[in-house]
Structure 1
Amino acid sequence: MLARLGARLAIGVMVLGSPAIVSVSAQPAQAAVPNPELSRLLDAGSEAVKQRRWAEALGLYQQAQLIDGQDARIASAIGYLYTELGDFRQAALSFERAIAMDSQTAAFAFGAATAYANLGEYAAAERYYEQSLRLDNKRAEAYRGLATVQQRRGNLVGAINTYQRWQQLEPNNWQPRNEMGKIYLQQRQFTNALQVLQAATRLAPREADIYSNLAIAQLGLNNPRAALTSLQSSISLDPRNPRTLLKAGDIYLVLGDREAANRNYRRAFELNRNSAKTLDRYTQILLDQGDATLATVYLRDALRLEPRNPDFHLRLGLAYLARGLKPEARSSLNQAALLYQQRGDSNGQQQAAAALRQL
């Protein structure tokens, strides 16, 4: 009798500093059944998985492991369930147990890599992604995961190489080209970015994210008219995407159209009020327009999301100052100055000091 387990793995992927979630379906784990009790546990565990009762399924598979502790597939099933429950440390340990028993199954290494990536232990994640690809070099999500952790470790050249390997595997897939374009933008290699992003648009002419990235490359090459055209294409394809609207606002600001920039920032905020980036742009609009009271409200929200962001503390201090709340302003501005100092940001320190002199 065979017990089947389906699960999902999730890894946070960096896209120009913003996180996105990629989910992939794991292959069913199968275990040979040596006795009736093990058969019962695996059948019950399989049914619990079908009903998405992850904790119950985990308990059943753990009982099964007590009976047969040498089956790598049971260990990997436990790893998948820990991943589903968000316990990535135990997930990593379970996948490593599976690998110790069977080092030739790519899915086990991929599971371990995903768990370590979610833990922020990128060296271990990179090692297991590479192991997964040595065993199965046709898994696109392993290339994506590997490139992501390479970026997190600052190895942008390695990440580009990984995306090129993915591109060779799937030459008609626009995503590796788009991701390479984003890295080139980070490096301010606008010509390289333009080339790969234009190739991506030919493969996927209705993907809004490509056009917003293309607009940044064109702007970097001093072609604002082309950038504006690409930007408008991006918004028309995905008018309710806050990230696209934020990019639009940034580009309009560079083009000197503050009204259009603010319109896009405000729309992004309306669509996603729980994003530090949208709050960053929107609170600046409020301060520019003299609405210090509302700015105070949303800056507190922003600081709940990013309590060590010195820009938010500085802006909150300025909002308090505009309202005549000097003790609160002093506290926020001192905190901003401290955080800027810790970051080695002399310009930020000067701004905080200038604001403190107004008290």
Structure 2
Amino acid sequence: MRMNEPFDDPRAAQDTVRRYERMLAHDEAVFFDLEEFEVIIDHYVTSAAFDKAQQACEAALSQYPFSTELLIDRAQIAAMRGDYAEAERQIANVASLDPDNADVAVTRGIIATQRGSFEEAVRYFQAALEHNPDREDIHFNLGLAYQSWQKYKSAARHYKHSLRLHPDNETTVQELLNCLEVTSRLPEHEEFFQRFTDDDPYSAVAWYNLGQYYYRLEKYEQAVAAFDYAIVIEADFYDAHHWLADTYVCQQQYQRAITEFELSYPPNEPTDEALCNIGECYEKLRDWEQARLYYRKALEVNPNMDEAWFGQGVLLQEQERPFEALHFFRKAVQLYAESGEYWAALGAAENQVGNVVSALEAYEKATEVAPEDATGWVSWSAILYEQGNYEEAVELLQHAVELHPHEAHFHYMLCAYLLAAGRLREAYLELETALTLNYDQHSLLFDYFPELEKQPALQRLIEQFRK
């Protein structure tokens, strides 16, 4: 296996993986030829399912114990799992058997990349490239090393070279787009992606990649057209249907998105992701019953899908049923505790039912896992304000203002907190900032805190900023 190398027939590859998984599920004897095992291992590596990749690799080695390719696979998987000493030991054994194998240098480069030794990794990959200039996987891994090293322009150069050699690798497309986005160079690469469709107008993958490019630029009309072309060429291009659906979601065309999500998986083989996405579309359409039905279908496929648990909680919150929502939000944070959004939603529900202590704990957790998101800070501060803990409320909201200094809303709230704390000078400075940023939003101050309308000094200051 060459890391991230796509196989010629993706559909055949999926069928091979499914057949392998069915045999495992039924505890049947597993036998595949060497190339099929390479397909299976590559699938799991690309999906970052390294334990499954190792299991498949060991099964393959039991049938083909002298395969250099499989021994290299095993070393690379060990590196991906973070077992660098074992990876080094295994690749050293391969080097003693086949010292001229270019994959020895590639694997050592992968180990160095995973270990964070990016300069060393680049040296290994460049050495391998000297004798194999047209191997797209070496260019890909060079790109990955440079990207991890935060040398995005060099990374993009090698990703582009990799795509020119083999344009069907979706992972390469995504990483290239990431690098171009980070360096604000997306707009200038339209010609690069269009060239693939010009060279081969009947390539579904070329149109799909162009759609991905337009999607990143938020040029949704062009993205829809590109994904449509891909689907016209290849009707059961499931990923193209998925991204077309996502594009419709961005355009708030939820009914169209539902249709495409329903086409984003093989017949009678729905994925938990597609079902959950359909549920979310129905939620946006405020069709609560259909939304709940699809969230439950997603959980039938994958009982541990945190997004579906969270989605059901959101449905109940939208219907003003916070007591029932609590169960689903608690399950969501239990399954995925690193989501600030989940913790903030749990905090809101806890607060609504009067569990103030639990609400404060949830908001505190939200700020721990997502300190860059102002939602947790704002909501946490609001509860403290309501309890009369003005100084603590001020301190927390100052975090929100630091994160979003141009958000007038937060400055208005901070002004109110400072007034309550008796810090008048600071309060008026915050109000001036808020009025400068967005005068029209000053009504929020009185929506949240009606008693402030009785303060003439505040009214005079607001009048001074009236245009």
Q: TM-score, normalising length from structure 2?
A: 0.57
Pick aligned residue for 2:414 from 277, 298, 316: 316
CA 1:221–1:312: 2 relative to 1, 3 Å: closer
Q: Does 1:141 align with 2:239?
A: yes
Listed as ranges, the gaps of 5+ residues in structure 2 are 7-45, 48-129, 148-152, 459-467
CA contact (8 A) 1:246 1:278 kept: yes
Corresponding residue for residue 275 of structure 2: 177
Q: Deviations over 1:202-259 (max 9, x none)?
A: 1111112211211233455566554343333333333443322222222233434333
**Paired residue secondary structure (2:264):** helix
Question: Distance between the aligned counterparts of 2:173 and 2:293, measured in 1?
Answer: 41
Pick aligned residue for 1:83 from 168, 177, 181: 177
**Paired residue secondary structure (1:166):** coil
Question: Distance between the aligned counterparts of 1:104 and 1:82, measured in 2?
Answer: 23
Q: Does 1:115 align with 2:223?
A: no
Residue type matched to 2:334 in 1?
Answer: S
Residue type matched to 1:49 in 2?
Answer: F
Corresponding residue for residue 288 of structure 2: 190
Q: Deviations over 1:270-310 (max 9, x none)?
A: 22211233233233234334454454454344345444434
Question: Distance between the aligned counterparts of 2:278 and 2:310, measured in 1?
Answer: 14
CA contact (8 A) 2:193 2:209 kept: yes
Structure with a larger share of its residues in strand: 1
| CA displacement at 1:80 relative to structure 2 | 6.7
> Identity percentage over the alignment?
18
Residue type matched to 2:262 in 1?
Answer: Q
CA 1:137–1:261: 2 relative to 1, 3 Å: farther
Question: Distance between the aligned counterparts of 1:296 and 1:140, measured in 2?
Answer: 50
Q: Select the structure of larger CA radius of gyration.
A: 2
Residue type matched to 1:108 in 2?
Answer: A
CA contact (8 A) 2:262 2:274 kept: yes
| CA displacement at 1:95 relative to structure 2 | 0.6
Alignment: residue pair count: 321
Pick aligned residue for 1:348 from 435, 438, 444: 444
Pick aligned residue for 1:50 from 138, 141, 166: 141
Aligned pairs (5 A) from 1:256-295: 256-295=354-393
Quick check: 248-257 or 149-158, which moved more? 248-257
Q: Deviations over 1:175-215 (max 9, x none)?
A: 12211222222332211211111211111111122112112
CA 1:5–1:166: 2 relative to 1, 3 Å: closer
Question: Distance between the aligned counterparts of 1:291 and 1:353, measured in 2?
Answer: 15
Question: Distance between the aligned counterparts of 1:282 and 1:117, measured in 2?
Answer: 35
Corresponding residue for residue 150 of structure 1: 248
Q: TM-score, normalising length from structure 1?
A: 0.72
**Paired residue secondary structure (1:103):** coil
Question: Distance between the aligned counterparts of 1:227 and 1:81, measured in 2?
Answer: 37
Tell which has more relative contact order, 1 or 2 (C-alpha 8 A, sep 6+). Answer: 1
